[in-house]
Amino acid sequence: MGPKFQVLAGGAGLLLVFSLTITGVYDSWRGRKLLTLLRRYSLSLAVAAAILTTFLVFTKTSEEFSRLWLAYSIILVWCGGVGYRSLYYFYLKKLRRAGKNLRKVVIISSSIEHAKNTFQPEDLKESGYHAIDYISAVQVERWMGGGQLYTELNQRPANEVWLDMPLSMGSFIKDIVYELRHSTVDIRFFPDLQDIQLLNHKVSNIVGHYSIDISCTPLSGLNRIVKRTEDLIIGSLICLLITPVCLLIALAIRFSSPGPILFKQYRHGRDGRRFKVYKFRSMEVHQETDGSVTQAQPGDPRVTKLGTFLRRTSLDELPQFVNVLQGRMSIVGPRPHALSHNEYYKDLVESYMWRHKVKPGITGLAQIRGHRGLTDTLDKMEKRVECDLEYINNWSLWLDIKIILLTLTKGIIHKNAF
């Protein structure tokens, strides 16, 4: 290997170490899943490779290095990193099954039954922890009254103390932390939030203060840029591919029934902002009474013969790719409902309006699972909203790609579309 390759390899190595540090790959593995570790490692390597490639292009030195060598190097580094982490991960699991490499934990809870159900021994052991005792908050309060809490916990050789309590016991938690101010054990607080609907919950540091984010959008910062880039690239390619089909559909609508080619209607977008959604018209021109919106029914006389085909094959949705390029919709996301439906269901379905924390989509998790079409019962709408919130909670670029691919195989034509 020549001097230039040695310098490049050394620089790439330092760049990868920096990337792995920034993404938290070098943080403790305890309590983390293997898939999460491998995803972060793959992301870090991809970022380092992208930066390295950009540097070579802008310095006009890319021609001095073999592209095949670069590709093989990246693949070998990825295989080596994934292989090493996988082997070490399973080695740790083997050690922990044998009772080694475990951090001992004392769990203080407002409900011992709740704590034992939440922190089950097998789950703890797999993650590298061992609960040596579960102590009720009532017992702890007695010890604190006699100034014995520090002494009692010292008799239990724990590395960590976990506080499993609701937020309403904040002052009691503060007292426990004060009583343990002379102890060197790690103290962790696990707030009991089971009675609260959560959306993309996490802990943030805002102006120097920690906050528990109960309901936040995942599509902010870098994620928002990634999502928009995805929409522009994939949306532009799809628009190029479907243009001939759209022209044929437009001509067919023009000559099959009187009225406009496109159906336009206001819907709620991200953060509840209104926007005009586009569809190919699939119904005869008619007037709704009192501003209401009546969903299409099986055998609905308002739907044209061509419209039946368009709705059944989802071809009526194609103009919404224009909404995507405009930035008002996304390719993947919760389907936008009529304004009147939002007003009706927001009081009936818990957290219904949280669907609008992201841009509405042409397809989504609910659609590939078959929850589309007529929502004539509350149960049907609840299942759709449940899927939408699950999507928002678990959003990733890979999930979007998976939904797009599944839409092509099972989400375009469906029995519930009419």
- Cα separations in angstroms, 383 against 107, 130, 360, 374, 378: 36, 38, 17, 12, 9
pLDDT at 1 over 60: no
How far apart, in whole angstroms, are the C-alpha atoms of residue 386 and residue 380?
Answer: 10
Tens digit of each residue's pLDDT (9 = 90 or more) over 43-73? 888 888 888 888 887 877 777 777 787 888 8
At residue 387, the pLDDT reads 92
CA angle, corner 276, sides to 274 and 281, nearest 5? 145
Q: 132-170, pLDDT tens digit by residue?
A: 999 999 999 999 888 888 888 888 888 889 998 888 888
Write down the pLDDT at residue 418: 47
Q: Is the per-residue pLDDT at 212 higher than 80?
A: no
Full set of structural domains in the chain with CATH: 3-97 (no CATH), 103-195 (3.40.50.11900), 222-411 (no CATH)
Query: Residues 385, 355: contact at Cβ < 8 Å?
Result: yes
pLDDT band of 289, cuts 50, 70, 90: low
User: How far apart (Å, rounded) are the C-alpha atoms in residues 52 and 34?
Assistant: 27
* Count of Cβ atoms closer than 10 Å to residue 418 Cβ: 17
